[in-house]
């Protein structure tokens, strides 16, 4: 019963008829035939409006949530539902990832316009996904913001949440902590591209009070 060509066909039940039938003998009949495959082609659908949601950096390569968009090519008023999943990004770092493969799953529709998903196909698609920086908390120790002049450079003391993230510190635009008396605007910002933070404080080095001894 399999598909194939030049297949032997058995023929039976043939007989001769008519007034002259007695003058003839019917020899055995041998035939060859072909069985072709049944056409099971699925109707192809297309998708419009595919998007992959932006997500915040979390140290993994997992892609954002997929919004499949609108199916086109359905027969008549038939409806189907579609869900999608995006492949992992090539890196866990913040950035835009283009041509991320997206695969789909079709499911039967519902109601009076329900369609059978088994009658359709939907090719995999692609989209751009984005990882955005994670928020960083920078905390400055207030004690490190006020000093009396002693001729020593004074830097602010800071910590981050999560801990261990590198921070750029600028003292009135310079990376060198000041040592002379004065008021200095200090800007602290994340130097790790996977985190986003900016904090502005003021460092004060007060004038020192010294007594003068007058001799003579």
Mean pLDDT, consecutive 10-residue segments, the chain of 216 residues? 85 89 87 80 92 97 96 93 96 97 94 89 95 98 96 97 97 97 97 97 91 80
Residue 157, pLDDT score: 98
Match 């800007």 to its residue by tokens: 187
Residue 154: closest CA among 170, 177, 171: 177
What pLDDT was estimated at residue 180? Answer: 96
Q: What is the pLDDT of residue 210?
A: 74
Angle at 155 between CA 168 and CA 186, to 5 degrees: 55
What's the confidence (pLDDT) of residue 19?
92
Are the C-beta atoms of 119 and 42 separated by less than 8 Å? Answer: yes
Q: Are 178 and 205 in contact (CB under 8 A)?
A: yes
Relative to beta strand 66-67, strand 55-56 is unpaired
């Amino acid at each position: 019963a399999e598909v194939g060509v030049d297949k032997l066909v058995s023929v039976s039940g043939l007989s001769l008829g008519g007034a002259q039938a007695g003058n003839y003998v019917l020899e055995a009949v041998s035939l060859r035939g072909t069985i072709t495959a049944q056409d099971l082609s699925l109707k192809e659908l297309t998708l419009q409006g595919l998007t992959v949601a932006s997500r915040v950096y979390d140290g993994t390569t997992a892609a954002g949530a997929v919004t499949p968009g609108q199916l086109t090519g359905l027969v008549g008023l038939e409806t189907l539902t579609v869900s999608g999943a995006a492949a992992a990004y090539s890196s866990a770092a913040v950035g835009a990832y283009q041509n991320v493969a997206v695969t789909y799953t079709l499911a039967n529709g519902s109601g009076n316009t329900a369609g059978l998903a088994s009658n359709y196909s939907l090719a995999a698609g692609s989209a751009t996904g984005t990882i955005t920086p994670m928020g960083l908390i920078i905390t400055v120790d207030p004690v490190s913001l006020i000093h009396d002049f002693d001729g020593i450079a004074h830097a602010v003391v800071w910590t981050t949440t999560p801990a261990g993230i590198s921070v750029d510190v600028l003292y009135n635009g310079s990376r060198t902590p000041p040592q002379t008396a004065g008021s200095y605007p200090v800007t602290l910002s994340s130097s790790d591209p996977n985190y986003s933070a900016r904090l502005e404080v003021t460092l004060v080095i007060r004038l020192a009070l010294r007594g003068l001894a007058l001799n003579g």
